[in-house]
Homo-oligomer: A and B are copies of this chain.
Amino acid sequence: EHVAQLKSLKTKLGDKGDEAPGKFVLKTPKGTRDYDPEAMAVRESVLQIVTEAFKRHGAETIDTPVFELREVLLGKYGEEGGKLVYDLQDQGGELLSMRYDLTVPFARYLAMTKVKNIKRYHIAKVYRRDQPNMTRGRYREFYQCDFDIAGQYDLMLPESECLKIVDEVLKKLEIEQFFIHLNHRLLLEGMFEVSGISPKLFKTVCSSVDKLDKSPWAEVENELLKDKGLNPEQTKKLGDLVRFRELNPGVSNEELIKKMRNLPELSGNAKFKKGADELEVLIKYCDLLGVDSLKFEPSLARGLDYYTGAIYEAVAPHAMDEVVETESGLPAGVGSVAAGGRYDGLVSMFNPKNNVPCCGVSFGIERLFTLVEAKLKKKSTTIRTKQTEVYVASPQKGMLAERLKLCKQLWAADIKTEFPYKANPKLLDQLQYCEAHQIPLALIIGDGELEKGVVKLRVVATREEKEVPLANLVESVRDTLKQLSSP
């Protein structure tokens, strides 16, 4: 409580400090940024891979307004989250707030439309009044990318498709050495039960246990003893269980579950058994689907405010190693790139009588943007921001009409074409433009060519030139582009 007050005071001071009263500074709002063509090109390439995966799995997409009635969001994000919601000013109408995530709007949509079955994705920006200095690298406006399956279905089948999609996307994005950690709420509840930990402490103990991916057990145990009120006997028992993957590193998922089932303390626990039964089904389905990145991890314990069954999180522990300081300011070594699980209480937030079971996954899409951007920058000096294939150039004056006619022909053939907006451009400028924008082909026309009924086709990278009859222009350009793009 006291800490929160101090934080809020600091927040106010921090924000006030940003403003230079009376002086107009040309900037974007705090915590937001413009996306220039380079950033957009990266985003587009990542989102294309993600949406292609969603569509390959038969997903539909929906969109909801960027703001909701304040009542819709109220009380959905806990005390801390609620403070970070952007409110709109009361301008004599309804009280509105900006969406904080895509899940609550999805729940509102399902409750409102009474849709009972949907496999949908939603890629859109959300808004949180985070303190950028407090959570380094987090923006106040950022994309979320959610895929969810709502409906009453057979055990673990929707979950298996979520995990398959995560596996496909991360492989297509060439994320190195990723794992999908897997756990289950009932497993955690069972482990806590046999460790003698009160169900009341479930959430708070989970939040400590979940730190095991970053902190050693000694630190986590210390927190459990000092801040969470556990005794050494409890932490000893719990530590042996939640660290079971750590203590058995080379063991397959099936074997690890079996080993845990056979532990004397767990063998009689009904919750653990039910969770283990369910995970075994999911692991079997994932094997059949070729999801080989799956790793059962009994210490995974996040999002348990709302997850009711299986939970999963994809991590790429080394992917960020080389991204020390990026444009987006993300810290290195932070590895979570997707997370999700089953949450069956979603729609009942709005209508207790009309519930719809759900599971889903949310990609850490901003992080994936950063990873891909860093990789592209390592590979080549420039990121292509336009897809132009042909530049219609001229070495001499008076060729504008001819150039426009050539453009018309190429555009009609769906060839991506540009021309200089100058009546009499210099050839050097034109070729430099091609190099700067990595345009593969220049089409050069002058009096000499015109008389012969040809154009010169120049491969920008190699400076090779060949003459091509005007009558075959489109075919020649297509063939040359095909040759250039094949390795």
The reply to whether B86 and A63 contact each other, CB–CB distance below 8 Å, is: no
Q: State in angstroms the CA–CA spacing of A158 and B58 once bound together.
A: 41
Cβ contacts under 8 Å, A385 to chain B:
60
Residue in B closest to A414 when the chains form the complex, CB atoms: B56
Cβ contacts under 8 Å, A72 to chain B:
26
Q: State in angstroms the CA–CA spacing of A90 and B88 once bound together.
A: 9
The reply to whether A87 and B91 contact each other, CB–CB distance below 8 Å, is: yes
For window 134-162 of chain A, which residues contact chain B by CB distance below 8 Å? 141, 149, 151, 153-154, 157-158, 160-161
Cβ contacts under 8 Å, A62 to chain B:
34-37, 40
Q: B26, B96, B141: which contacts A112 (Cβ < 8 A)?
A: B26
Q: B32, B88, B422: which contacts A87 (Cβ < 8 A)?
A: B88
The reply to whether B386 and A129 contact each other, CB–CB distance below 8 Å, is: no
Cβ contacts under 8 Å, A26 to chain B:
72, 108, 111-112, 350-351
| Of A173-181, A266-274, A362-370, A399-407, the one with at least 4 CB within 8 A of chain B | A399-407
Q: State in angstroms the CA–CA spacing of A383 and B160 once bound together.
A: 28
Cβ contacts under 8 Å, A86 to chain B:
88-89, 91
The reply to whether B411 and A57 contact each other, CB–CB distance below 8 Å, is: yes
Q: How many residues of A contact B (CB 8 A)?
A: 96
The reply to whether B64 and A40 contact each other, CB–CB distance below 8 Å, is: no
The reply to whether B60 and A15 contact each other, CB–CB distance below 8 Å, is: no
The reply to whether A422 and B154 contact each other, CB–CB distance below 8 Å, is: yes
* Any B CB within 8 A of the CB of A109: yes
| Of A225-233, A283-291, A298-306, the one with at least 4 CB within 8 A of chain B | A283-291
Nearest-neighbour CB distance to chain B for A357, whole angstroms, equals: 11
* Any B CB within 8 A of the CB of A479: no
The reply to whether A61 and B40 contact each other, CB–CB distance below 8 Å, is: yes
Cβ contacts under 8 Å, A29 to chain B:
65, 67-69, 94, 96
Cβ contacts under 8 Å, A387 to chain B:
55, 58
Cβ contacts under 8 Å, A289 to chain B:
404, 407-408
Cβ contacts under 8 Å, A421 to chain B:
149, 151, 153-154, 157-158, 161
The reply to whether A290 and B408 contact each other, CB–CB distance below 8 Å, is: yes
Interface string of A282-322 (1 = CB under 8 A from B): 00010011100000000000000000000000000000000
Q: State in angstroms the CA–CA spacing of A365 and B405 once bound together.
A: 29
Interface string of A97-122 (1 = CB under 8 A from B): 01000000000110111000010100
Given contacts A33-B65, A35-B62, A58-B418, contact A411 B164 (CB under 8 A): yes
The reply to whether B24 and A71 contact each other, CB–CB distance below 8 Å, is: yes
Q: State in angstroms the CA–CA spacing of A285 and B452 once bound together.
A: 24
Q: State in angstroms the CA–CA spacing of A20 and B181 once bound together.
A: 47
Number of this chain's copies in the complex: 2
The reply to whether A19 and B94 contact each other, CB–CB distance below 8 Å, is: yes
* Any B CB within 8 A of the CB of A5: no
Q: State in angstroms the CA–CA spacing of A63 and B125 once bound together.
A: 12
Q: B65, B93, B407, B437: which contacts A129 (Cβ < 8 A)?
A: B93
Residue in B closest to A390 when the chains form the complex, CB atoms: B58
Q: B34, B66, B69: which contacts A125 (Cβ < 8 A)?
A: B66
Q: State in angstroms the CA–CA spacing of A68 and B28 once bound together.
A: 6
Residue in B closest to A115 when the chains form the complex, CB atoms: B36
Nearest-neighbour CB distance to chain B for A356, whole angstroms, equals: 14
Q: State in angstroms the CA–CA spacing of A401 and B65 once bound together.
A: 41
Q: State in angstroms the CA–CA spacing of A120 and B36 once bound together.
A: 10
* Any B CB within 8 A of the CB of A481: no
* Any B CB within 8 A of the CB of A12: yes
Residue in B closest to A402 when the chains form the complex, CB atoms: B288
Q: State in angstroms the CA–CA spacing of A161 and B108 once bound together.
A: 44
The reply to whether B27 and A386 contact each other, CB–CB distance below 8 Å, is: no
Cβ contacts under 8 Å, A91 to chain B:
86-87, 129
Q: B56, B93, B405: which contacts A288 (Cβ < 8 A)?
A: B405
* Any B CB within 8 A of the CB of A168: yes
5 contacts between A and B (CB under 8 A): A26-B350, A29-B96, A56-B416, A58-B386, A86-B89
Closest 3 A/B residue pairs (Cβ): A153-B421, A37-B60, A15-B93
Supplied contacts A26-B351, A285-B404, 6 more A-B pairs, CB within 8 Å: A30-B93, A40-B61, A41-B60, A58-B437, A66-B66, A153-B422
